[in-house]
Structure 1
Amino acid sequence: MTRLWTKPFIMLTAGMLFLGTGFYLLLPTLPLYIKQLGGNDAMIGLVAGIFTLAAVVFRLFVGGLLDRYGRRPFMLLGLLLFGISIYAYEWAGGIAVLIALRIVHGAGWAFSTTAIGTSITDVVPEKRRGEGMGWYGVSMTVSMAIGPMLGTWIIMNYSFSHMFGIAAAFSAMALALAFAAKIPFQPHANKGSISLIEKSLLPVMAGLFFLAVSYGGITAFMPIFADTIAVNPGFFFLVYAVSLTVIRPVAGKLSDRYGETAIIIPSLIITFLALIVVSQAGNMAGVAVSAVLYGIGFGSAQPAFQSVALKLAPPDRKGVANASFFTAFDLGIGLGSIALGSLSLYIGYQGVFAASAVSVACSLVIFVSTVRKARSRTPAKTG
């Protein structure tokens, strides 16, 4: 069966759109809420970091659980935790309680995104996996584009209370869609210990990690850098999101037809060039060009890396494979932001983007030298 747009695929993709929008509502607004609670810049960094750390830790465990007990229980639990924790932010009252809620929120994010992503791979036909993952990725891209703008508009015109309530409502819609979706699953026969990492994917994880470092640099420092050259900080991300939305379905189809290598190598080169361009940018035109190139390059490479990961991993270990994939991605963003932040004190923002380009070059070297060879040794699957 090669039909892509099945009812479960549409419901899960729409659910991810609602979940992502609820998540991105908080991205520009939570720092302001922390300030309102009396927190300083260090507290803002801590609250942001504890969420990522919690997501990484819980993601390590959820992959094996998905393979053994099914996707549905952890998807619903994750969405429930996600929505409750967001709604409870209103009653935090202090930074310590907010940090505790961020841990719960991170756990909900890890459970829900890993379970939904794995369920998507269950319902997408193998021969159209690249295209399916591309369209699925669009749901996060669209939420990334509208969430921050909507969140900012809500707190400017209403209140934090309204914003938390609306974010929780988006989570509830995602929960309803996930509950209604019928997801095929064949339980594990093996009852041994649960794996935390799919070892066959270590080269893929390393390549993805260095690619994600660049994304950490872009998300952390592009808003500040854009402001220094009198460019609206949201301009880069708007152009980037549009480019990403356009390219992902196209790149997915090309990946299915010509293979992931034909997509990943040129995409990493384009991502490298995007970062070189922005490291030299001094006006809106330079920022626009870099945003288009980064959207095309990063937007094509990330789902192709995931497709490679799913092909290299055993069929009954999709949960662990997806958890390993997203763990590498989260670590790249988190550790990359920290490392590049330290470097920025010495090399400036443009130097940070040049360093990010070097990280993408490392990703390219790793893919060519290890991942591509491992992929070529993997026998083609029938189905």
Structure 2
Amino acid sequence: MLSKSAFPLLLLNMFLAMLGTGLVIPILPDLLKEFGAGGQAAGYLVSCFGLTQFLFSPIAGNLSDKYGRKPMIVAGLILFALSNLLAAFAGDLSLLFVSRLIGGIGSAALVPSIMAYVADITTDDQRSKAMSWLGASMSSGFIIGPGIGGLLAEFGIKGPFYASACIGLLAMGCSLKMLPESLSKEIRLKRQQSIERRESVFRELALSVKSRYFILLLIVFASTFGLTHFEAIFPLFVVQGYGFTTRDIAILITVCSLIGTFNQVVLTNRITQRFGEKRVISAMLLLSAVSLVFLLLSGNFYYVMFVTMLFFTFNNILRPTINTMLSKEAGEEQGFVAGMNNAYMSLGNIFGPALAGILFDIHIDLPYLFGAFVLLVSSFVSGRRIGRKGRNISMNRDPSA
């Protein structure tokens, strides 16, 4: 009963948050040009978001286990709206960086809490399909977001930021009024009253190396690292390398996201049931690496659209498949493991864009070549190591805490 009422709203929240994020993608080249910045600044803007996301993700995961998923989801949406509002008022890069730091905290509160909520209200058999739909809702934000962002940019470069802030507040209001809490009051009280020595995020990362789900977390980092090599400098790459316009970028991202999401919904559950999650993860990493290299071979608009669509499809299938495996391994530590998942994703968001920006300023092809190399190595590691029985380390945490 709870799943029927809550799950659609969770999908809507994730969709609206990603819609707000997607709105600003087409304007990045013009925005950086206005501030006199280049590829390195673009990389650092994404990296600083990942930095606060990394630092706060485990904390948010623990808080969601103790005080409930709903408060963290609402807080995350408020911070998301605030970050976009600050970006709209930014007159220089410094305030834009502050807005990204706040946005990272909001993501740390929002994403693991929604993932843990889904794990709370689904069985193991239902989870693969639920995570696929959750991934589709994230991708759908990028379908509509860039297209709308490109249109809003015609009325002013800051228009997409104002729209993002309004969307965040709308999602927050819906959650506050209509989203039920997935954890019972008794469970929350028990966890709040438990005596627990909280580890620092760095200590928890060190402990995660010995956990049964470390290889999956490592793949989360590597896949995010490769993805951000694509995302962080893609607008700059197609503008400087192929002469695309803001409208071209909006159309490109919108169409490719639409097809990629459709392919995800249709294919993810079918291929994981047929081939198993391990094979699917390894194959999607390999195909993502190949598509990054192919992106460098031609600047024809339709060719770039086709290759980008393939890249989006492979990544859209990869992410929910990894999340499903992680949730199955997590047991009663759903909130904590979701937080660690977000932390490793944040590490990819820190190092991937920063390095991509540096490499871009050296040569515009280098980010995609290096990103492809990381994904290729990850495919090999996942094929060899996923599924091996690791040590059952519970991160020195009481499962009831």
- TM-score if structure 1 supplies the norm length? 0.84
Is structure 2 residue 384 aligned with structure 1 residue 372?
Answer: no
Correspondence 1:194 to 2:198 = yes
The residue number in structure 1 matching 2:175 is 178
| Map 1:1-383 → 2, pairs under 5 A | 6-29=4-27, 32=30, 40-41=37-38, 46-92=44-90, 95-157=93-155, 160=158, 163-179=160-176, 180-185=178-183, 186-187=187-188, 189=191, 190-195=194-199, 196=201, 197=204, 199=208, 200=211, 201-227=213-239, 228-230=241-243, 232-234=248-250, 236-254=252-270, 257-258=273-274, 259-313=276-330, 315-344=331-360, 348-374=363-389
SS in 2 for 1:279: coil
Q: Is the 8 A contact 2:221 2:348 kept in 1?
A: yes
Contact kept? 1:207, 1:362, Cα under 8 Å: no
Secondary structure at 2:284's aligned position in 1?
helix
For the 8 Å contact 2:228–2:349, the answer to whether it is kept is yes
The whole-number CA distance in structure 1 between the counterparts of 2:115 and 2:50 is 18
CA shift at 1:83, angstroms?
Answer: 1.9
User: Take 2:149 and 2:309, find their aligned partners in 1: how far apart are those partners?
Assistant: 24
Tell me which moved more, 125-134 or 219-228. 219-228
* RMSD of Structure 2 on Structure 1 (CA): 3.1
Deviates more, 1:201-210 or 1:23-32: 23-32
Query: Take 1:224 and 1:92, find their aligned partners in 2: how far apart are those partners?
Result: 21
Distance 1:81 1:94 in 2: 21
- Structure 2: distance between partners of 1:140 and 1:108: 15
The whole-number CA distance in structure 2 between the counterparts of 1:40 and 1:287 is 25
Letter of the 1:168 partner, please give it. Answer: A
Q: Which residue of 1 aligns with 2:399?
A: none
Deviations along 1:206-257, one digit per CA (max 9) or x if unpaired, are: 1122222221121133334434235544454334312321122234423663
Q: Shift of residue 104 of structure 1?
A: 2.6
- The one-character-per-residue Cα deviations of 1:136-182 (angstroms, maximum 9, x if unpaired) are 1111111112222322322322573x544422221122112322112
The whole-number CA distance in structure 2 between the counterparts of 1:285 and 1:64 is 46
AA aligned to 1:318 is Q
User: What is the match of residue 398 of structure 2?
Assistant: none
Whole-angstrom CA distance in 1 between matches of 2:387 and 2:123 = 23
C-alpha separation in 1, matches of 2:161 and 2:168: 11
The aligned amino acid for 1:18 is: L
3-state SS in 1 of match to 2:388: helix
Letter in 2 for 1:307: T
3-state SS in 2 of match to 1:373: coil
Per mean C-alpha deviation after superposition, the further-off stretch among 42-51 and 198-207 is: 42-51
Listed as ranges, the gaps of 5+ residues in structure 1 are: 378-383
More divergent stretch after superposition (278-287 vs 136-145): 278-287
- Identify unmatched segments of 5+ residues in structure 2: 393-401
Distance 1:44 1:305, change over 3 A: closer
Give the paired residue count.
Answer: 372
CA contact (8 A) 1:133 1:252 kept: no
Q: Separation in 1 of the partners of 2:358 and 2:163?
A: 36
CA–CA separation in structure 2 for the residues paired with 1:220 and 1:63: 26
State how far apart, in whole Å, the 2-side matches of 1:340 and 1:88 are. Answer: 25
Q: What is the identity percentage for the equivalent residue pairs of Structure 1 and Structure 2?
A: 21
Q: What do the CA deviations read for 1:238-287 (whole angstroms, capped 9, x no partner)?
A: 34312321122234423663431242232223223322322333433532
| 3-state SS in 1 of match to 2:25 | coil
